[in-house]
């Protein structure tokens, strides 16, 4: 559950996301809901968006600027079972059960994209973020404290070049100048999928069983 302003946002399992007006604590009133795919296990709110950990439904991004009519605007299908979520800046940190900690760039809420991950040894079911550190509740793995060190883009791979082969020139006596051997340029360095990868270093700085 998360609270923002006069509203409580409840991750309600198969019933999805429920939005409850708690301006009168003695008489909470549901004002809106969103039937999220999967099983809503966790939720956090940042700005106009609620981020729902939807178990096998992955991360769901829901616009709650109108609490009476929440609307999903984007999603990211995590590899595990999204169980908890926290947001700091442009990143959502998802405790993804056997998928470990997944870090998702949500700067464009309509198109979340994974920026990095840390494969914890247990089952990550809860996460909280403070001051650049992500604290992950990892089941039998205990508590893991991870540090986000910033997103970076790989250096572009150079392209190989070749020296063009000169055209053969005939002489009046029907002799010709021998064709010179091709001179290869620098060999390219092959980086699998580098053009589509963005690396986010996530470092373990502490753990407690």
The confidence score (pLDDT) of residue 83 equals 98
Domain coordinates in residue numbering, the chain: 2-122
What pairing do the DSSP bridges indicate for beta strands 133-137 and 143-148? antiparallel
The Cβ of residue 87 has, within 10 Å, a number of other Cβ atoms equal to 21
Q: Which residues contact 178 (CB under 8 A, 6 or more apart)?
A: none
The confidence score (pLDDT) of residue 69 equals 98
Kindly list the distances between the CA atom of residue 69 and the CA atoms of 35, 62, 109, in Å, as whole numbers in the listed order.
Answer: 11, 10, 17
Q: Of 39, 45, 3, give the one whose Cα is nearest residue 125.
A: 39
What pairing do the DSSP bridges indicate for beta strands 133-137 and 126-130? antiparallel
- pTM for this one? 0.75
The CATH classification of domain 2-122, taken from the options 3.30.70.1560, 2.40.128.630, 1.10.1510.10, 3.90.1150.140: 2.40.128.630
Q: Of 81, 6, 68, give the one whose Cα is nearest residue 32.
A: 68
The confidence score (pLDDT) of residue 202 equals 61
Residue pLDDT, tens place only, 36-65: 899 999 999 999 999 999 999 999 999 999
With a cut of 50, which residues of the chain have pLDDT below it? 153-165, 167-201
Sheet strands (E) in 84-156: 84-88, 91-95, 101-105, 113-118, 126-130, 133-137, 143-148
User: Cβ(122)–Cβ(209) under 8 Å?
Assistant: no
């Amino acid at each position: 559950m998360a609270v923002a302003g006069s509203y409580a946002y409840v991750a309600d399992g198969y019933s999805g996301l429920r939005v409850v007006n708690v301006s009168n604590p003695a008489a909470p009133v549901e004002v809106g809901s969103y039937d999220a795919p999967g099983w809503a296990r966790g939720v956090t709110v940042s700005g106009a968006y609620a981020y729902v950990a939807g178990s096998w439904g992955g991360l769901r991004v829901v616009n709650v600027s109108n609490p009476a009519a929440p609307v999903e605007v984007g999603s990211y299908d995590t590899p595990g079972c999204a169980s908890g979520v926290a947001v700091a800046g442009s990143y959502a940190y998802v405790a993804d059960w056997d998928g470990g900690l997944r870090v998702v760039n949500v700067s464009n809420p309509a198109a979340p994209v994974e920026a990095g991950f840390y494969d914890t040894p247990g089952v990550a079911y809860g996460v909280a973020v403070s001051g650049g550190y992500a604290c992950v509740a990892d089941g039998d793995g205990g508590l893991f404290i991870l540090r986000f060190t910033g997103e970076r883009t790989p250096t572009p791979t150079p392209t190989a070049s070749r020296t063009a082969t000169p055209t053969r020139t005939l002489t009046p006596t029907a002799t010709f100048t021998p064709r010179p051997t091709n001179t290869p340029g620098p060999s390219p360095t092959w980086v699998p999928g580098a053009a589509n990868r963005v690396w986010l270093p996530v470092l373990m700085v502490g753990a407690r069983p």
